[in-house]
Amino acid sequence: MRWLASERVFRLIPFVLVEALFVVAILVPFALTIWISLLKWRANRPFETARFSGLENYEAVLSSDQFWLALGRTFYFAGVAVAIELVVGFMLAMLVSRCTRSRKLYTTVFLIPMMIVPIVVGYNFSMIYVDSGPLNQLLAPFLDRLGIDPRIRWLSHPVAAQWAIIIADVWQWTSLTFLIFLSGFAALPPQLINAARVMGATPWQIFWRIELPLLKPAIVIAIIIRSMEALKLFDPVVLLTFGGPGTSTQTVAYFLWEQVWVFNKFSFGAAASILLLIIFSLLIFMGVYMLVSHRRAVEGATS
C-alpha cells in the first residue's frame, strides 16, 4: 500500500475516481444519445429493429414549430421572471441592509421560500389559483362590481397561466437574488460611502456612483445563476398546468419530457436534447466564463 501514499499516485486517486464516474454516468450515455438520435426507432418496437436514418431526426426537430415555440417560451419565462427577481431582490436587500434590529428576522423569513421543495411550491400555488381559491376571494369585491363571476379559472387562460408560473417562480427564487445582493451590500466599504457623504454627495449620487458600481459583480453573478436555473423550468409547469392550456405554458424541458415519456419518440427526443445542449452550451460557456472572472473581481475586492 505504500505506493498509494506516494506523491505521484496519491493526488490522482480522487481525480481518477470522479472522472471515471463522470465518464460512466455522463459521457457514455451522452455518446449513446448521439447514436440513438441517428436511428429511426420508437420505444414500443424492439431495439433490434431500429435502423440508421442519418440526420432525419434533426431535420424533424429543426422543422418542428413546437420545439422552437417551446424554446422561445422558455427564454420569455426566464427573462421576465429573472428581471422581476433581480429588481425585487435588489430592493428588498437594500431595504433590509438599512435595518438594524430587525435585519436578522427579515433575512430568515425571506430565505424560507428557497428551501421549500419546488414541487410543493407548485402545489401551493395551484391551491391559490383554483377557481374557488383565496385569490378569487380577494378579487371578488372588484370583480362583482364589474359584473364578472369571481370564480375565475386562472390556469385555463393562456396568458394568466403563463403569469401564474412566473409568479410562482418569483415567489420562490427572489429569496436567492435577495441573499446574493444582501451579502453584496454587507461587503460595501463604509469608509468610502462616509467619505462621499462628508464631501456633500446626495444619497442619490452615492447610490448611482458608488454603491451600484461596487455591486456590479453581485448583480452579474445573480443574473447568471438565476438565468441558468430559470431556463431549466419544469416542476411548476407539471404541477400547475401540464403545459396547457393548449401549449401556452410548455417550456422546452416539458416539451422534451412529453415527446419522450408520453409519446415514446426516443430518437426525436435524443436529437432534440443534443440540439438543446448545443444551443445552451454557448450560454453555459459564456456564463461560466463571466462567473469565474467576476469571482476573481469579488475576491480581489475583498482580500
Partner 1 sequence: MSRPPDTGTSLAAEAARARKRRRERSRRVTRHALLIAWTGFIAFPIFWMISTSFKDAGEWVAWPPHWLPHAPTLHNYAQIFAFGALDPTLSRQATEQAFTIWKGLGDAVLVCTSASLFALLLGTFLAYAISRFNVGGKYFRHTILMIRMIPPIVVAISILIYYAIIVPYVTSALFGVRISLFDTYVGLVLIYTVTTLPFVIWMMLTFIDEVPYTLEHAARLMGAGRVTVIRRVVLPLVASGMVVTFLFVFILNWAEFLLALTLTHPEVTTLTVLLNKFQSASEGRLYGPQAAIGTVVTIPVVILGLLIQKHLVKGFSFGTIRK
Identify the residue among 70, 82, 221, 223 touching partner 1 (CB under 8 A).
Answer: 221
Q: Is residue 237 near partner 1 by the rule CB under 8 A? A: no
Beta bridge partners of 39: 52
Indicate the residue among 28 and 159 with the shorter CB distance to partner 1.
Answer: 28
Identify the residue among 38, 81, 92, 165 touching partner 1 (CB under 8 A).
Answer: 92
Q: How far is the CB of 192 from partner 1 (least distance, A)?
A: 20
**CB-based contact 36:266 (threshold 8 Å):** yes
The C-alpha angle with vertex 258 and arms to 256 and 82, in degrees rounded to 5, equals 55
Identify the residue among 3, 11, 145, 199 touching partner 1 (CB under 8 A).
Answer: 11
**Residues touching partner 1: how many (CB under 8 A)?**
102
**CB-based contact 271:60 (threshold 8 Å):** yes
Q: Is residue 5 near partner 1 by the rule CB under 8 A? A: yes
Identify the residue among 118, 161, 164, 165 touching partner 1 (CB under 8 A).
Answer: 118
Q: Is residue 148 near partner 1 by the rule CB under 8 A? A: no
Q: Which 171-200 positions form the footprint of partner 1 (CB under 8 A)?
A: 171, 176, 179-180, 183-184, 186
Q: Is residue 69 near partner 1 by the rule CB under 8 A? A: no
Q: Is residue 230 near partner 1 by the rule CB under 8 A? A: no
Cβ within 8 Å of residue 193, ≥6 positions away: 206, 210, 211
Q: Is residue 47 near partner 1 by the rule CB under 8 A? A: yes
CA distance 94 to 184: 10
Q: Is residue 286 near partner 1 by the rule CB under 8 A? A: no
Identify the residue among 30, 75, 163, 185 touching partner 1 (CB under 8 A).
Answer: 30
Supply the DSSP symbol for 39. Answer: E
Identify the residue among 55, 83, 87, 109 touching partner 1 (CB under 8 A).
Answer: 109
**CB-based contact 39:53 (threshold 8 Å):** yes
**Does residue 245 have a cis bond before it (omega within 30 degrees)?**
yes
Identify the residue among 55, 62, 83, 99 touching partner 1 (CB under 8 A).
Answer: 99
Per DSSP, the residues of 121-163 read: HHHHHHHHHSTTSHHHHHHHHHHHHHT--S---GGGSHHHHHH
